Structure 1
């Protein structure tokens, strides 16, 4: 049984393309190296590897942090490497496929469909069982080409390993002689990620009702997929998928139609309005319950934003904040701090350098507290046990604000992002997170108050504010 992966959440509004180097930094592995990287890790491929009833053949996996469209030559190189590894693997009984579902590459109509086409070209019509992110924008052609397909059930995504195990179990069913199929319906509803939390309404209730329908109808699985609104493709929007045997095709269709109607009836529940940076910071400074988590939604690194937005930093400095912690991506400042050394005075401008859509550079004068290589291993629920790197990382004190300046874009998925640098988030008065909801798995329990902010950026609270060129389709 082969294991193959193509994982990237592509923000098509980003001006920073995704290159082969970004895949090398996150995951570009084959064979035994792929197995070693994911063994005992809470990833989808970690879940595949837990399926010990298979004779598993790790083939190839490419993954990168969310960012702009993948360069054409990069996507070509990934497919070429996957082709070589698939040929090397030889005859296989089936494939376990880890996809994101919102992958976009320049000059490719559908990057993930191209990956599936490669499997079919080399291995023929063998059974394929796959996993998608809850923020997938799957096309009907992709669903039609895969025997069984499930998505994460949770956002924050804390069930990746479980979905990998489930996909393997479904493949076992197929190989045991019970043909399974997947169906999809698409709802052209673009939803901000902060409205997609699966332990909150409306997603919580929509999923619960869909699961009851699926159980009553005798289906193997139903998935309510929130979609990724920061992608300018016709397949963007919410989706509903079902996995069923041949005898339950009509029942699955009815469950999907009922769930689509349910989503449409509750579309208004997904509408969100949040405070501006100035209002949000004033609220945080007056709050009594600490730490206050200020969520910089529009500069969500986990959604493809650059992570160097300065709107909240500017307001915190203006307001004379004390005990605030602000992460920001700025390779130049991190390297300058490294050159100056710990204890040195540093005077420079930070952030706002990728573009001007996330704020302008902010002048700072402070002192360098700590310099590290930015590496940490997480014990948290997102890819538990895996090692990550923020690149050269500097902790800089600027008045009452502690800046965590990273060289490499790293989402706010882990508390170790702070604790590995000597920052105790429980002692902070204010914590800025550049995210939407995924940060809650790491910091949600310690938050005294949460304030989501409608600032500037390419992952805005108002998804309809983006300069979209395409219209989401219904199918």
Structure 2
């Protein structure tokens, strides 16, 4: 048996000014792709294990993942999918794909749907299973061009491998028992906020997912996924959707509609209302004076790398400095021009510089002027470190060159690339101990939490005017299907 397994992941923020060249995907092909997948906590890793257990001829034409950023050029999308399509055209018996569900190129607002349609044209009868991210924006084109879809049920995502294994169980039943899955899609007009999808706390999202889990394995239901969607993508189908897989169409449709209705009834619970930044900083001051150990963690979720943020918005840091707060450690802040300048100046140099607020996003509010600072360069590094866990444990990360600037109030880590602070190594690799901070400012929404939250005395979410803001009024939506809640008032859904 010839099993094709591949991975292509990108969550596209269509408003983001961060470019997405081919190199950002770090594509791996054939044997290198298989090596990447083997033992990894990804759906692709589960696919590799499944093929190995089946003693199949495993074909791995591609493993490519880019951090969230702006739409990729069409030639990049074509270059990525070309080896995959060639492999399908060569003849395979099973196709297993680890995709995201919210990838956009300059010419395709539904890259996953486009890819699956092309695969179906080449292999119309080959069993095709797909694993998707909880933040996928799911189109009818995606659903119509595969046999089964299973999405993550956790955020932060820790069940990637389990999701892939779920896909393989359905595919195995197709191969061994003659199963013919039926799928249904329901797309209530909702654009949830990402900060309302945290499955580590009790909320509407965890309730919906529990309802989906309870339905699986009963009444012919093979899988049920609540996709929160990715609201920072200006495409027609952005938003919450439900995908169900069952042994009959009526069973899949009934459950999809039931879950969609439950989501709609809880729609207000998916709205995140930002509090004013000044109020957040006042809370931070109060928290710092309370008993406890560790820094007060300030999350600049409006400039979150893992949602396409540029990591150069200075709103939170500038406001904290203006308030007279000190003992601050902040970063990583992306400013490649300044990194070059400070690297040339070298450790020990005292410099007057302007930091951040240099990435301009089309169709978005203009940032404030760059932040003027006077400080000393206290360290330079190559920006590389190995993750100690619990997310991406053992993976080597590269922030580009990194420089440390020390000012009277703050120690600032400045890097060449936007980078998610998901490990202490982000700071320790540059000679900074983040736990010595009074206030630790991170450009993050969710992925920093498993590491930094247990080590902090308090955590406060801070609003900024960055490209990943939860304030939808900052975004100029043009392609999004309207009306949609909470942008619009809607009555009478479903009709």
TM-score interval for Structure 1 and Structure 2 normalised by the shorter chain = over 0.9
Aligned to 1:96: 96
Shift in Å, 1:7: 1.1
**How many Å separate the matches in 2 of 1:224 and 1:45?**
21
**Aligned pair partner of 1:381 in 362, 386, 390:** 390
> Are the structure 2 counterparts of residues 185 and 315 from structure 1 closer, same or farther at C-alpha, using a change threshold of 3 Å?
same
Q: How many residues align?
A: 468
**How many Å separate the matches in 2 of 1:148 and 1:465?**
36
Aligned to 2:206: 204
Match of 1:217, SS state, is coil
Alignment of 1:225-244 (within 5 A): 225-244=227-246
Alignment of 1:344-383 (within 5 A): 344-355=349-360, 357-383=366-392
* Alpha carbons 1:70, 1:105 under 8 Å: kept: yes
Match of 1:142, SS state, is helix
Aligned to 1:317: 321
**How many Å separate the matches in 2 of 1:400 and 1:341?**
21
1:171-211 deviation digits (Å, cap 9, x = unpaired): 22222122223322112211111111112201111211222
Q: Which moved more, 1:226-235 or 1:66-75?
A: 66-75
Q: Which runs of 5+ in 1 are unaligned?
A: none
Q: Which moved more, 1:268-277 or 1:234-243?
A: 268-277
Aligned to 1:41: 40
**How many Å separate the matches in 1 of 2:395 and 2:124?**
34
Match of 2:187, SS state, is strand
Confirm whether residue 330 of structure 1 aligns to residue 335 of structure 2: yes
Aligned to 1:258: 258
* Alpha carbons 1:42, 1:384 under 8 Å: kept: no
CA RMSD of aligned residues (A): 2.1
Match of 1:399, SS state, is coil
Confirm whether residue 460 of structure 1 aligns to residue 464 of structure 2: no
> Are the structure 2 counterparts of residues 228 and 272 from structure 1 closer, same or farther at C-alpha, using a change threshold of 3 Å?
same
**Normalised TM-score (structure 2):** 0.89
Shift in Å, 1:161: 2.2
Shift in Å, 1:441: 2.5
* Alpha carbons 2:357, 2:368 under 8 Å: kept: yes
> Are the structure 2 counterparts of residues 11 and 214 from structure 1 closer, same or farther at C-alpha, using a change threshold of 3 Å?
same
**Normalised TM-score (structure 1):** 0.93
Aligned to 2:491: none
Alignment of 1:160-171 (within 5 A): 160-171=160-171
Match of 1:59, SS state, is coil
> Are the structure 2 counterparts of residues 99 and 343 from structure 1 closer, same or farther at C-alpha, using a change threshold of 3 Å?
same
> Are the structure 2 counterparts of residues 79 and 185 from structure 1 closer, same or farther at C-alpha, using a change threshold of 3 Å?
same
Confirm whether residue 291 of structure 1 aligns to residue 267 of structure 2: no
Q: Which moved more, 1:434-443 or 1:231-240?
A: 434-443
Shift in Å, 1:291: 1.8
Shift in Å, 1:85: 4.7
* Alpha carbons 2:352, 2:372 under 8 Å: kept: yes
**How many Å separate the matches in 2 of 1:197 and 1:406?**
28
* Runs of 4+ residues deviating >6 angstroms: none
Q: Which moved more, 1:151-160 or 1:378-387?
A: 378-387
Aligned to 2:175: 175
Aligned to 1:185: 186
**How many Å separate the matches in 2 of 1:99 and 1:283?**
40
* Alpha carbons 2:18, 2:309 under 8 Å: kept: no
**How many Å separate the matches in 2 of 1:49 and 1:324?**
45
**How many Å separate the matches in 2 of 1:376 and 1:39?**
21
Shift in Å, 1:365: 1.6
Q: Which moved more, 1:269-278 or 1:140-149?
A: 269-278
Shift in Å, 1:98: 1.1
> Are the structure 2 counterparts of residues 221 and 293 from structure 1 closer, same or farther at C-alpha, using a change threshold of 3 Å?
same
